[in-house]
Amino acid sequence: MYSKQEASQLRQEFWTTFGQYLSPILSAEGEKINWINYKTGEKNISFRMHADNRKAIISVELTHKDGEIQQIYFEQFVQFKNLFDDAMNEEWNWQLHTYDEHGKLISKIFKEKTDVSIFQKGNWPELISFFKPRIIALDEFWSQVKYSFEMLR
């Protein structure tokens, strides 16, 4: 078991390593990008990567505080589901109106990998292999559809 400080240090070390690994890769639009803190440009749409001692998750999170407006955002993604599936080259889970770890209403589209731990350096290549192609594919997908979300602001 790790102390809080050791766990925090390992997480930071992983994400730094991951960021350095992806830093030479340009976005779909040919720009330098911070892959770890990916900015969609839309206040209520986030791309998140999370890893803990049991699993890794990459997700699109819709966080508008009004549930009906959040549903409109989700339905807009559903309109692009075929394009999304093609970009990801796999099926993801789609959840309208669930709750995050803080009890906040969100909707999300996500892929999960179990039986991996960010605290085991031996799992890091597997975690990087999980996150890397998916965040790059999300960027490719987003570069094609982001303008259709501007009208929802």
Say yes or no to pLDDT of 153 above 90: no
CB within 8 A of 85, min separation 6: which ones? 91, 92
Q: What dotted CATH number matches 4-152?
A: 3.30.1460
Domain residue extents for the chain: 4-152
Cα–Cα distance between 48 and 110 in angstroms, integer? 9
Q: How confident is the model at residue 1 (pLDDT cuts 50, 70, 90)?
A: low
| DSSP structure class, residue 50 | E
Is residue 138 classed exposed, middle or buried when 0-12, 13-18 and 19+ CB atoms within 10 A define those classes?
buried
CB atoms near residue 94 (< 10 Å): 15
- What are 11-54's pLDDT values in tens digits? 999 999 999 999 999 999 999 999 999 999 999 999 999 999 99
Q: How confident is the model at residue 4 (pLDDT cuts 50, 70, 90)?
A: confident
Cα–Cα distance between 127 and 56 in angstroms, integer? 7
- What are 43-99's pLDDT values in tens digits? 999 999 999 999 999 999 999 999 999 999 999 999 999 999 999 999 999 999 999
Cα–Cα distance between 4 and 22 in angstroms, integer? 27
- What are 89-136's pLDDT values in tens digits? 999 999 999 999 899 999 999 999 999 999 999 999 999 999 999 999
CB within 8 A of 105, min separation 6: which ones? 65, 67, 70, 97, 98, 99
Question: Which phi and psi (to 5°) does residue 135 adopt?
Answer: -70, -35
